[in-house]
């Protein structure tokens, strides 16, 4: 395949092309789902091929992608990509330009501890079936779900500057959830929550202690049916890692994707309140807030040796000591902003057009354990396990609901609340952060499902976070 991709790039080496790159991916995917204890889906797709060719001609990008890797298809795609660029250049005011970079060569092979595609199928199915039976509907539990998604992606990348990479990674997305019902009301609990994926194989089920938490979600779902709601207008909240990852994702991650500044995502994903003039001066969060994009950490799903336009993986400070320092950029946009490209250009599959994407976007750890943070909280709520999320076009006004909240009084958890909902304005919220737990609580939380771009792409990415506390947050939503 190395020869194939390099031969395609060789065909694209011509004076009328200022840049071109080619991706080839082969993806294995397996989905297993049990509903109410019964196997409802076991589907697989093996070695799914994809090829994408992107060319920059006359200052405009053209792209063509296909699942067909035959020689005839390659010739057709090259012509189509060039034609798309030429036609696009006829409706153009500003040409896409960026400086050349030193070519990189990279090879990376990830090995999971338990390869989900090679382990005995009985072992995999029996474990999931046992899990499904453990949370099967009974009493007030009316619905249950156990799901596993396994992915292996082999990827080749090459461009006309001479960069080349070959990588292979395994990702797993495990989840279980139950629904309890009583008197026309339903409440749900899931484990391990919204961002449960990982750069791992089947071992993720053991590491995330699924079996050990079946009783907990069964009990909490039923307890939520009779739990109170939050009655205060404002409260201090501690946000657990799984949900904080989503808060970070929505209100910092997407907000600092620089393609949004120039309106390249207005038609679907939206804009951002961030402006280029804010770099270096804007107080995005409190002094203890440090947020970085790190595509060099192989523990996260956002790891790559080089990104999808040839930029080597980088760690970039996005927010340092609360101040906005940098952006997630493409080469074109970094050039416009006078920044170094941040190595954030990614395409979900080879036949997708690369976009500015989060990789591993993390909050640097602070100090102390979660237990200590709760102990040091006079009155508030510990919230985790995302239920609903929503944020505006500019990534400024957000509102989240979690499945459960744990009430804290005088440093101790004294009960639960149902559907705790909080809302805020992004910079005010991050400036209200007064404590971040330490390294011992810090972990990656990952998703398979970050949607962006048109035609739509869903990206695998990670957020490294530790639980954090936010002071005086709006927790009263009138309906």
Terminal Cα distance for the chain, rounded:
57
Q: Token pair for residue 284?
A: 């995005």
CA torsion, ordered 387, 434, 462, 245, to nearest 10 deg: 0
3-state secondary structure at position 285: coil
User: Would you count residue 18 as binding another protein (CB under 8 A)?
Assistant: no
Q: Does 139 bind another protein (CB under 8 A)?
A: no
Q: Residue 185 or 226: which CB sits closer to another protein?
A: 185
CA torsion 436-442-445-450 (nearest 10°) is 50
Kindly identify the residues of this chain, within the stretch 232-271, that bind another protein according to CB under 8 A.
262-264, 266-268, 270-271
Nearer to another protein, 129 or 367 (CB): 129
- For 468, residues 6+ apart whose C-beta sits below 8 A from its C-beta are 238, 239, 244, 363, 366, 433, 435, 436, 437
| Among 14, 185, 376, 409, contact with another protein (rule: CB under 8 A) | 185
Q: Does 61 bind another protein (CB under 8 A)?
A: yes
322: left (phi over 0), alpha (psi -120 to 50) or beta: left
- Cα separation of 55 and 82, whole Å? 6
- Where in 438-457 is the site for another protein (CB under 8 A)? 449, 451, 453-456
Indicate the DSSP class of residue 98: -
Contact segment (CB under 8 A) with another protein among 48-56, 294-302, 370-378, 461-469 equals 48-56
3-state secondary structure of 315: strand
Q: Is 50 in the site for another protein (CB under 8 A)?
A: yes
Footprint (CB under 8 A) of another protein, residues 349-388:
351, 353, 387-388
Binding residue for another protein, selected from 11, 67, 216, 219, defined by CB under 8 A: 67
Residue 181: strand, helix, or coil: strand
89 binds another protein (CB under 8 A): yes
- Which of residues 81, 347, 358, 436 is near another protein by CB under 8 A? 81
User: CB of 32: closest distance to another protein in angstroms?
Assistant: 10
Given 3, 72, 93, 410, the residue binding another protein (CB under 8 A): 93
Given 17, 18, 69, 282, the residue binding another protein (CB under 8 A): 69
Q: Tell me whether the omega of the peptide bond preceding residue 455 falls within 30 degrees of 0, making it cis.
A: yes
> Residues 189, 225: contact at Cβ < 8 Å?
no
Size of the site for another protein (CB under 8 A): 87
Site string for another protein, 186-205 (x = CB under 8 A): x-------------------
- Kindly tell me which of 146 and 436 has the beta carbon lying closer to another protein: 146
Q: How far apart are CA 192 and CA 309, in angstroms?
A: 34
Query: Shortest approach of another protein to residue 302 CB, angstroms?
Result: 20
Distance CA 348, CA 342 (A): 18
Among residue numbers 412 through 431, which ones bind another protein (CB under 8 A)?
A: 419, 421, 423, 425
Token readout for 240 is 């657990």
Among 66, 160, 251, 293, binds another protein (CB under 8 A): 66
Q: 49 or 298: whose CB is closer to another protein?
A: 49
Which residue in the set 3, 13, 15, 43 belongs to the binding site for another protein (CB under 8 A)?
43
CA-to-CA dists, residue 443 to 150, 406, 437, 460, angstroms: 21, 21, 11, 16
Q: Is 108 in the site for another protein (CB under 8 A)?
A: no
Interface with another protein (CB under 8 A), residue from 3, 72, 91, 139: 91
- Rounded to whole angstroms, what are the CA distances from 400 to 300, 319, 383? 25, 23, 10
Q: Specify the residue for token string 């204890």.
A: 37
For residue 89, count other CB atoms closer than 10 A to its CB: 17
Closer residue to another protein (CB): 83 or 369: 83
Nearest distance in Å: CB 147, another protein:
13
Which of 280, 456 has the CB closer to another protein?
456
* Among positions 18, 28, 49, 162, the unique one binding another protein when judged by CB under 8 A: 49
Which residue, 369 or 474, has its beta carbon nearer to another protein? 474
Q: Which of 468, 387, 377 is nearest to 414 (CA)?
A: 377
Q: Which two tokens stand for residue 438?
A: 């330490």
């Amino acid at each position: 395949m190395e020869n194939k991709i390099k031969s395609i790039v060789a065909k694209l080496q011509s004076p009328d092309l200022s840049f071109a790159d080619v991706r080839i991916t082969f993806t294995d995917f397996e989905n297993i789902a049990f509903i109410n204890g019964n196997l409802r889906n076991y589907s697989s797709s093996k070695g799914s091929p994809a090829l994408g060719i992107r060319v920059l001609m006359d200052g405009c990008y053209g792209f063509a992608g296909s699942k067909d890797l035959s020689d005839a298809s390659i010739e057709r795609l090259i012509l189509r990509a060039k034609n798309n660029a030429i036609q696009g250049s006829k409706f153009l005011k500003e040409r896409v330009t960026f400086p050349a970079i030193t070519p990189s060569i990279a090879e990376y092979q990830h090995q999971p501890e338990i390869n989900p595609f090679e382990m005995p199928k009985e072992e995999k199915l029996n474990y999931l079936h046992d899990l499904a039976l453990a949370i099967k509907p009974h009493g007030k539990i009316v619905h249950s779900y156990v799901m596993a998604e396994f992915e292996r992606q082999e990827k080749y990348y090459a461009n006309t500057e001479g960069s080349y990479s070959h990588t292979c990674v395994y990702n797993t997305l495990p989840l279980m959830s139950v629904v309890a019902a009583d008197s026309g009301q339903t409440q749900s609990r899931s484990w391990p929550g919204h961002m449960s994926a990982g750069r791992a194989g089947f071992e993720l089920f053991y590491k995330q202690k699924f079996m050990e938490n079946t009783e907990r979600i069964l009990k909490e779902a039923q307890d939520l049916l009779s739990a109170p709601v939050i009655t205060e207008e404002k409260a201090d909240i501690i946000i657990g890692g799984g949900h904080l990852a989503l808060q970070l994702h929505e209100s910092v991650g997407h907000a600092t994707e620089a393609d949004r500044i120039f309106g390249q995502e207005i038609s679907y994903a939206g804009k951002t309140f961030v402006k280029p003039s804010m770099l270096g001066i804007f107080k995005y969060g409190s002094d203890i807030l440090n947020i970085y994009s790190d595509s060099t950490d192989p523990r996260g799903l956002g790891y790559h040796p080089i990104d999808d336009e040839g930029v080597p993986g980088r760690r970039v400070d996005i927010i340092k000591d609360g101040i906005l320092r940098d952006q997630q950029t493409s080469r074109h946009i970094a050039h416009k902003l006078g920044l170094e490209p941040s190595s954030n250009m990614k395409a979900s599959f080879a036949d997708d057009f690369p976009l500015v994407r989060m990789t591993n976007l993390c909050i640097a750890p602070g100090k102390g354990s979660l237990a200590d943070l709760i102990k040091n909280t006079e009155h508030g709520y510990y919230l985790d396990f995302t239920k609903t999320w929503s944020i505006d076009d500019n990534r400024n006004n957000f509102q989240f609901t979690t499945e459960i909240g744990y009430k804290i009084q005088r440093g101790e958890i004294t009960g639960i609340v149902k559907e705790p909902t909080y809302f805020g304005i992004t910079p005010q919220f991050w400036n209200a952060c007064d404590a971040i737990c330490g390294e011992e609580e810090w972990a990656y939380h990952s998703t398979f499902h970050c949607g962006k771009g048109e035609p739509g792409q869903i990206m695998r990415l990670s957020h490294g976070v530790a639980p954090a506390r936010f002071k005086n947050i709006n927790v009263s939503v009138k309906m």
